[in-house]
């Protein structure tokens, strides 16, 4: 097997190319994570010197944590005679760019080795890069373990996530699920530029046009929301009323903040709950539903607050974004009819929203003592949102298709 084929003009062996791309991805991931760990800028951090075994273990733990893989720990804390088990799942943060960039590079390298195999040969090998990457993460999950004291999640309202002084290791099931999610998605994205570099191997598809339109509009909308959050932070800091959430380190959870906001716009509910196992009467939970208000359960009492009248502005922005997605999909090449385009856009957007809901959440707890969760959860209103997305993207696609109606020569390339 050979990793490359530039000298003889033949496509590389698919397995060799995939292994080559996976190795490149893993080396980049570990190198970047190692540097950030040693300067205490990782998702989880603690005192670790350069070149020590502890720094290597924290590097691995950071690599899992930045991909939303749950960390589970067990042991006896110093000064205690009680064996405890704990778990921590951290929300998606800016540090997720580490595996994303590394996998994009690995997918591109693999696809370049398979240029002469055609579009499908390049795609399959790039997807295999993600599978191998997830397999390596799963295999190492039982080896990586470390203690840590700090996380990238800042204190909010005086509450700080402080893990107990025990060894944590990544969950095997989480390594499989999130390793595949990150590996397959970003290695495929890395292969796309290589496919497009040759007109003979790349053909733009309608599903890809719809996916690109969803991603472009959703990213632009979330960037606008990110700017609004940063402006809010700056205003609070200038007014002298800033709390811990308005500190600079809060930028690390901006992807989670805007992801939660986007999920709320599309009917998801933000749920937060804390339950002392030994005192269930002290349980606290809160559900925020953008279009129905807030429900707070505290010590058996229920407090309900109606939705804000300003929610209409958010709904209007989300509706305009869906219309824009429909128009953009047609312009990018999905021109076999407004109805098929709308169906594809609905499927792609629902998948995007499901991934956002899955990644924007945090959970932690100690077995037999307490547990807490904050993140997005499914709400029946999301089914209504799916219907609205279909209708609005259908309107946007129909609007754009009118530009090309009556052209006897067919649709022009865009």
State how far the Cα of 354 lies from the Cα of 80, in Å rounded to an integer. 42
Q: Return the SS3 of 286.
A: strand
Q: So where are the chain's domains?
A: 1-203, 205-404
Nearest to 368 by CA among 286, 279, 301: 279
Question: What was the pLDDT predicted at 411?
Answer: 43
Nearest to 171 by CA among 97, 88, 102: 88
Strands 293-298, 301-305: parallel, antiparallel or unpaired by DSSP? Answer: antiparallel
pLDDT (tens digit per residue) in 79-115: 777 788 888 888 888 889 999 999 999 999 998 888 8
Please, what sign has the CA dihedral across residues 92, 97, 98, 104?
A: positive
Nearest to 103 by CA among 43, 42, 182, 4: 182
**Which tokens hold the place of 325?**
């997605």
Question: What was the pLDDT predicted at 239?
Answer: 55
Report CA-CA distances (Å) from 393 to 66, 154, 214, 216, 225.
Answer: 33, 38, 10, 14, 21
Question: What was the pLDDT predicted at 179?
Answer: 94
Nearest to 144 by CA among 54, 37, 75, 16: 54
Residue 378 DSSP one-character state: -
Nearest to 10 by CA among 119, 124, 109, 116: 116
Measure the CA angle with vertex 377, ends 373 and 381; round to 5°: 150
pLDDT (tens digit per residue) in 141-159: 989 998 888 787 765 544 5
Instruction: For residue 142, count other CB atoms closer than 10 A to its CB.
Output: 11
Question: What was the pLDDT predicted at 7?
Answer: 40
State how far the Cα of 51 lies from the Cα of 38, in Å rounded to an integer. 9
Residues of the chain with pLDDT under 70: 1-11, 48-49, 51, 154-161, 197-204, 236-251, 277-278, 280-281, 404-414
Report CA-CA distances (Å) from 18 to 103, 107, 114, 120, 191.
Answer: 11, 8, 10, 14, 11
State how far the Cα of 63 lies from the Cα of 42, in Å rounded to an integer. 9
Question: What was the pLDDT predicted at 6?
Answer: 45
- Whether the model clears a pTM of 0.85, i.e. scores above it, the answer is no
Measure the CA angle with vertex 398, ends 395 and 402; round to 5°: 140
Quickly tell me which residue has 């754009």 as its tokens: 400
Residue 91 DSSP one-character state: P
Instruction: For residue 172, count other CB atoms closer than 10 A to its CB.
Output: 16
Please, what sign has the CA dihedral across residues 401, 219, 102, 186?
A: negative
């Amino acid at each position: 097997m050979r990793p490359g084929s530039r000298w003889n003009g033949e496509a590389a062996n698919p397995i060799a190319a995939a292994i080559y791309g996976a190795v490149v991805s893993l080396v980049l991931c570990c190198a970047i994570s190692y540097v950030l760990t040693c300067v205490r800028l990782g998702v989880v951090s603690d005192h670790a010197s350069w070149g020590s075994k502890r720094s290597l273990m924290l590097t691995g733990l950071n690599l899992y944590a930045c991909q939303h893989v749950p960390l589970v720990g067990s042991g006896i804390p110093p000064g205690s005679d009680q064996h405890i088990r704990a778990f921590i799942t951290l929300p998606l943060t800016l540090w997720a760019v580490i595996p994303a960039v590394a996998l994009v590079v690995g997918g591109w390298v693999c696809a370049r080795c398979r240029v002469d195999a055609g579009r499908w040969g390049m795609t399959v090998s790039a997807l295999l890069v993600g599978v191998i990457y997830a397999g390596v993460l799963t295999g190492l999950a039982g080896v990586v373990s470390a203690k840590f004291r700090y996380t990238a999640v800042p204190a909010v309202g005086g509450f700080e996530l402080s893990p107990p002084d025990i060894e944590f290791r990544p969950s095997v099931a989480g390594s499989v699920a999130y390793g595949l999610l990150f590996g397959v998605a970003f290695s495929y994205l890395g292969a796309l530029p290589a496919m497009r570099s040759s007109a003979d191997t790349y053909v733009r598809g309608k599903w890809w046009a719809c996916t690109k339109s969803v991603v472009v509009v959703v990213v632009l909308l979330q960037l606008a929301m990110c700017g609004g959050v940063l402006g809010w932070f700056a205003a609070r800091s200038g007014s002298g009323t800033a709390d811990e959430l308005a500190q600079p380190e809060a930028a690390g959870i901006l992807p989670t903040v805007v992801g939660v906001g986007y999920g709320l716009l599309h009917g998801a509910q933000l749920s937060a709950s804390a339950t002392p196992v030994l005192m269930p009467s002290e349980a606290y939970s809160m559900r925020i539903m953008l279009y129905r208000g807030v429900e707070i359960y505290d010590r058996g009492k229920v407090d309900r607050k109606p939705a804000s009248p300003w929610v209409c502005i958010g709904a209007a922005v989300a509706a305009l974004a869906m219309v824009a997605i429909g128009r953009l999909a047609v312009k990018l090449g999905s021109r076999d009819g407004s109805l098929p385009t709308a169906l594809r856009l609905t499927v792609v957007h629902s998948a995007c929203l499901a991934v956002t809901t899955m990644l924007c959440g945090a959970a932690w707890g100690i077995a037999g003592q307490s547990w807490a969760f904050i993140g997005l959860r499914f709400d029946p209103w999301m089914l209504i949102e799916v219907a609205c997305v279909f209708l609005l993207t259908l309107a946007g696609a129909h609007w754009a298709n009118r530009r090309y109606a009556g052209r006897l020569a067919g649709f022009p390339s865009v």
